[in-house]
Structure 1
Amino acid sequence: MRTRAWAPLWLLLAAAAQLSRQQPPERPVFRCGGILTGESGFIGSEGFPGVYPPNSKCTWKITVPEGKVVVLNFRFIDLESDNLCRYDFVDVYNGHINGQRIGRFCGTFRPGALVSSGNKMMVKMISDANTAGNGFMAMFSASEPNERGDQYCGGHLERPSGSFKTPNWPDRDYPVGVTCIWHIIAPPNQLIELKFEKFDVERDNYCRYDFVAVFNGGEVNDAQRIGKYCGDSPPAPIVSERNELLIQFLSDLSLTADGFIGHYKFRPKKLPTTTAAPVTTTNPGTTSLKPTVALCQQKCRRTGTLESNYCSSNFVLVGAVITTTPRGGSLQATISLINIYKEGNLAIQQAGKNMSAKVTVVCKQCPLLRRGLNYIIMGQVGEDGQGKIMPNSFVMIFKTKNQKLLNVLKNKQC
């Protein structure tokens, strides 16, 4: 009887000892930056999941075994939201020094898997004086370059011609939560011509959810963006300004579509390029085209009134100029939208409640746009979805008294 009484107690003691050896691991402590090596691991903003500190700059350098590539998956991201990610953001780079920037992220949009071209990746997080959010947490892992499968995409393209496509093309829709970066590099004396053969990306008037963006140069740089595209109409052919192009594809965590396949080829610089071509965006009724140089030698003078220009313009908006970037003889400006009265095919970006649009002032100082000022802007829209402002386009400083007339014009039948 005594043996039977002690047997259950012995089993309970053994089970308790086993449980004590299986205590859950301690929650990791995330610090500002660090050096990480190995097959896998986690990185996170300082103090995650608590609110990240202000005025910080943190750098994580990740190295996986030689011959493999780094795959970075964001599990959580919550940084101050801004349509240009100017204040608090996470940058991801190929390599540790002077590497190509794969992407910049802020807000709460969680990008898909990011893949380096080699065994090194660098992640930087910057915060300004005002913070908002719990930061980010991401997992890195090592992968074989030739075994990335349909889950991953992107890479370096250096052959004289080639193709690129969304994951799963053409068998089924592209997956949710994907980030693809293709970096095309031509010899220094050549340019890159890009064409999309098939194109079907979730449609949205502002291309906020799934989109393809094309950039001059080798990094995601808003000032160098050629266009942002979505819907089921292939973008017009694109020719780079230099010997590098970057193509970025992002899908969010909801609807998907067929995807796309695109082709590129190198070509000599001496051929005409899109940036040197005659200006083809004209007001309705215009029958002749003038080269940009001749156009910019004319006097800078807007013609007509708000009323007379409203119907002849593709778009009409009121907005604040937040960035201006000279590009040769032209100027590219980012306009933070206060109100839009006529949208046309103007590509509009949205991040949270902030909406913005890009316009190109064909003749850099005609009309002159100054940062920080609010303008009424009327103009035409190019094939890339960017607004084109000609010397005779109707542009004026916005005044409160203009509001009533603009509201009337918005309901006007053109």
Structure 2
Amino acid sequence: YDYVAVHDGADISAPLLAKLCGNTIPSPLRSQGSALTVRFVTDSSITETGFTFVYTTTDQQSVQRSNNGYCQLPCDPNRWYINMDCVWTITAPVGHFVELQFTSFDVEDGGDSCSYDYVAVYDGADTSAPLVGKFCGSGIPAPLHSHSNVLTVRWVTDSSVTDAGWTAAYL
């Protein structure tokens, strides 16, 4: 059967917060630290429409930064992350900057142009902002910095090779 597992940490070895399935919207989940991992597991039996999620992050002491994002995952019974186009916008308070640090990176290598799967980072509120970098392959990109208080991350995948994906943290 299909399910969504939410782990309280940077990878699937972190403690399991919830294992979700069906069509009931769960109560909000909260991490104990600075990372959550969302893993979608599917089999080849029944195909449904998938799921969407929204997330918000806050500083432990006060609301210093917030991050609102979305990602709608298609529900392919063989490979769950094909043909994705996900966008996350990271927003810091005015006068602050965003630093994005990749902690793992394994995305289909499409050569210098990253013509298959890629992660693109933009210095602004959407994908029309200046491109900071476009990344693919297995090398972890160097930390990236915004010139304003907003950074946008876009993850695009095609329908062929499915590698492990990537994780990142922001400061």
Give the TM interval when normalised to the shorter protein: 0.5 to 0.7
More helix by share: 1
* Structure 2: gaps of 5 or more residues: 1-23, 29-37, 41-49, 60-64, 74-78
Does 1:231 find its partner at 2:153? no
Q: Letter of the 2:147 partner, please give it.
A: E
Does 1:264 find its partner at 2:170? yes
Please state whether the residue corresponding to 2:155 is helix, strand or coil: strand
Using structure 1 for the length normalisation, give the TM-score: 0.25
Higher relative contact order (CA closer than 8 Å, sequence separation 6+): 2
**In structure 2, what is the equivalent of residue 68 of structure 1?**
none
In structure 1, distance between residues paired with 2:116 and 2:141: 17
Q: CA RMSD in A?
A: 3.4
C-alpha change, 1:218 and 1:145, in structure 2 (3 Å) is farther
C-alpha change, 1:158 and 1:187, in structure 2 (3 Å) is farther
Does 1:201 find its partner at 2:107? yes
CA deviations over 1:206-247 (Å, ceiling 9, x no partner): 2111000001111111x5110100000011101111111110
Moved over 2 A (4+): 143-164
**In structure 1, what is the equivalent of residue 96 of structure 2?**
190
C-alpha change, 1:235 and 1:153, in structure 2 (3 Å) is farther
Corresponding pairs, count: 116
Is contact 1:204–1:230 with CA below 8 Å preserved after alignment? yes
Percent sequence identity over matched residues?
A: 31
Rg larger for: 1
* Structure 1: gaps of 5 or more residues: 1-142, 168-172, 266-414
CA deviations over 1:273-300 (Å, ceiling 9, x no partner): xxxxxxxxxxxxxxxxxxxxxxxxxxxx
CA deviations over 1:290-345 (Å, ceiling 9, x no partner): xxxxxxxxxxxxxxxxxxxxxxxxxxxxxxxxxxxxxxxxxxxxxxxxxxxxxxxx
**Which of 146, 166, 170 in structure 2 is aligned with 1:240?**
146
**In structure 1, what is the equivalent of residue 124 of structure 2?**
217
Mapping 1:10-409, distance limit 5 Å: 144=25, 150=40, 151=50, 155=54, 157-160=56-59, 175-205=81-111, 206-221=113-128, 223-265=129-171
Using structure 2 for the length normalisation, give the TM-score: 0.57
In structure 1, distance between residues paired with 2:58 and 2:104: 21
C-alpha change, 1:227 and 1:202, in structure 2 (3 Å) is same
In structure 1, distance between residues paired with 2:83 and 2:103: 23
